[in-house]
Structure 1
Amino acid sequence: MTIDKELSRFKVVKSHASIDQTETIIYENQATLNYVTPHFRVEADVEIPALKDGEVFTVGWVQAVTAMKFNNFYPMGQSSWELPELNNHRTTAVSDADGRQYPWYGVTTECVCVQGPRPPCTVRLSMNDNFSPTVSWAVPVGKDQPDSLQKVERDQSFKVWLVVKNEEKNTYKVLKGYKWRAVINIAVDCSLAQGMRAKLLEPKMQKQPEEIKDLSIPNSALHSPRANEAQKFVWRTKDTEIVFEVACTPRFCLQMLPEYSHKYHHRYAPYPMK
């Protein structure tokens, strides 16, 4: 990543990152377990210098997934959300951009584009993130499966960078960086009545984010594919692995018998990652 002298004029006045000190909330519906995690929040005030005519810069937050384990356990196997690029060590980070304007996490409070001529000013940039997925009580492949979910384990790590981009030269500079992690463990007993099945295990409170001293950013964090496009939904038993290619916002559960002894690819998935 090339850095030019114009980018060095941008300064962070102050910044702060935190995770809400609340427990993950669990909801039990007829077909699914749903949970909502506490929010990661980060904001910064950035001093923007006076800009000359023709100068265009964008300042904002860039986030990438750096590790992900998301497993749902049943007596006959387990399902998981996976990022193959991370699992195979082909990259150290997968972009978590919203997909509308790479590389930014979002395009509202998360980034701002400034164009000269204009006087100096200070802008506040903020973002937040959390998970609110659904998990099937029943095995997510096959027909008329009984409710048998046993536990949910999720351990996901992120890095987030405050970045300024020279739009004319396509160069970047990282102004600030943080890393954060979400760990969720839920025990499930489907023999109990709905509303009493799921129990949140430790850690019930998430660790606070840490500032990154090394402000280098991998190229994969700045470009596609983003995590919502790169993720795969996988069903595994002792003899079977079925890999579902994921549509970005699927909201239905496939009815497919897990009768394959070889790897099988399907182009849809039951539920999204977040």
Structure 2
Amino acid sequence: MACNNDAIEYHTSLTSSVNETFDINLNETKQRFYDIKRDPHIEIVNFEAVIERRPTEIDETSLRVLKYKSPSFIATVTFRFPPIHSNECWKVGFVQACDFMLFQNQYGDLGYSSWEFPQLIVRDLSMINDSCGRNFPWYGSKNQVVTIQGPIYRQSEHTITMRDLFIPWIPWDIPTCEGEKSHLTHIYRHQRFYVWLCAMNCTNNELLIIRTIRWIQTIEIDVKPNLCRGIRAKLISNHEPEQPIFLKKNKFIPSCALQAPSANNAQLLVWRPTKGESAIVVNPKHHDNSTIKYLRLLNIDIR
């Protein structure tokens, strides 16, 4: 069985003791760019975003799968929030969305497998929320977002951090088999993301966009299946990844990027043989009209 074991890693050193007292309807969320003249003065003390400057690590120890671990994207911000003299509730945190993914694994002339988001392919959505899927729209629920409940009569300082990386398992054998034969010849992955630092007034359901980051990661691995494990795979993409960019002009968040489905729940794995019909190897956890539409295009039934 093929497994896309991509990881979302959480840091738990900062947690909030504030109970959730406001129900947020993301369909009705008002969204605008943060304006220091009209909004509470959120002072950014430090804001950094980086992709670790190291090559992707390849692990060939398994008899069944090749594993790799990409450099992590890490965003950290320290900010000071002004006093809140009312009973307002605020959240400040990161929202991440993926707007493109090409992730294909070639098995010589036998065919290739592909991890895909039907919603992006059929263009029903422009982006898809990339989070744990339990705390929309935020990337995570621990150190990626902080809740500030008024009244607080003094300025408060907070640090939030998010980390994202890829840790997939790619079968040596074609993904419709569970064997140990070596047929994998090439891996290519290119993904693009937006990350927003946002402040949400939970009392009036308003989302303020403070900064927008763009980051991209490309991983390409050549595999010689006839060689022994340990020397089969070679990273051929850039060993030092392209660094994130802080956009000069903020970008609004599409409503589809604020709510379900999350990327982990929407993705599916398709096997496309050179001869014969395509097959779903890993079904998506989330089924919607986009999924049905896409599988009809492929002439595949989903159960």
- TM-score per shorter chain, which class? 0.7 to 0.9
* Contact 1:12–1:175, Cα closer than 8 Å, also in 2: no
% identical aligned pairs: 31
Q: 1:53 to 1:185 in 2, by over 3 A?
A: same
| Greater RCO (Cα-Cα under 8 Å, separation 6 or more) | 2
SS of the residue 1:2 aligns to = strand
Once the two structures are superposed, the pairs formed by residues 2-41 of structure 1 within 5 Å of their partners are 2-3=31-32, 7-28=39-60, 29-41=62-74
1:254 is aligned to none
Q: Which amino acid aligns with 1:190?
A: P
* Contact 1:59–1:163, Cα closer than 8 Å, also in 2: yes
Q: Which amino acid aligns with 2:137?
A: P
- Among 70, 76, 79, the residue aligned to 2:113: 79
For residues 46-101 of structure 1, the C-alpha deviation after alignment (integer angstroms, 9 at most, x for no partner) is 22111123100000011111110000001211101001111222222100121221
1:42 is aligned to 75
Q: What's the CA shift for 1:208?
A: 0.5
SS of the residue 2:142 aligns to = coil
2:6 is aligned to none
Q: Could you tell me the TM-score, scaled by structure 1's length? A: 0.87
Q: Which amino acid aligns with 2:136?
A: Y
Q: What's the CA shift for 1:191?
A: 0.6
Q: Distance in 2 between matches of 1:89 and 1:11?
A: 38
Once the two structures are superposed, the pairs formed by residues 105-124 of structure 1 within 5 Å of their partners are 105-118=139-152, 119-124=154-159
1:257 is aligned to none
Q: Distance in 2 between matches of 1:265 and 1:139?
A: 21
- Among 213, 223, 228, the residue aligned to 1:178: 213
Q: 1:266 to 1:189 in 2, by over 3 A?
A: farther
Question: Cα RMSD between the aligned structures?
Answer: 2.0
Q: Which amino acid aligns with 1:50?
A: P
Q: Distance in 1 between matches of 2:31 and 2:259?
A: 15
Q: Which amino acid aligns with 1:246?
A: P
* Structure 2 spans left out of the alignment, 5+ residues: 1-29, 287-297
Q: Distance in 2 between matches of 1:12 and 1:110?
A: 16
Aligned length: 254
- Whether 1:245 and 2:257 are equivalent positions in the alignment is no
* Contact 1:52–1:117, Cα closer than 8 Å, also in 2: yes
Give the stretch that moved more between structures: 4-13 or 187-196: 4-13
* Structure 1 spans left out of the alignment, 5+ residues: 249-261, 268-274
Q: Distance in 2 between matches of 1:137 and 1:174?
A: 44
Q: What's the CA shift for 1:25?
A: 0.3
Once the two structures are superposed, the pairs formed by residues 171-210 of structure 1 within 5 Å of their partners are 171-210=206-245
Q: 1:113 to 1:144 in 2, by over 3 A?
A: closer
Q: What's the CA shift for 1:203?
A: 1.5
* Contact 1:245–1:265, Cα closer than 8 Å, also in 2: no
- Whether 1:156 and 2:191 are equivalent positions in the alignment is yes
Q: 1:143 to 1:111 in 2, by over 3 A?
A: closer
Q: Could you tell me the TM-score, scaled by structure 2's length? A: 0.79
Q: Distance in 2 between matches of 1:158 and 1:174?
A: 16
2:20 is aligned to none
Q: Distance in 1 between matches of 2:43 and 2:236?
A: 42
Q: Which amino acid aligns with 1:22?
A: R
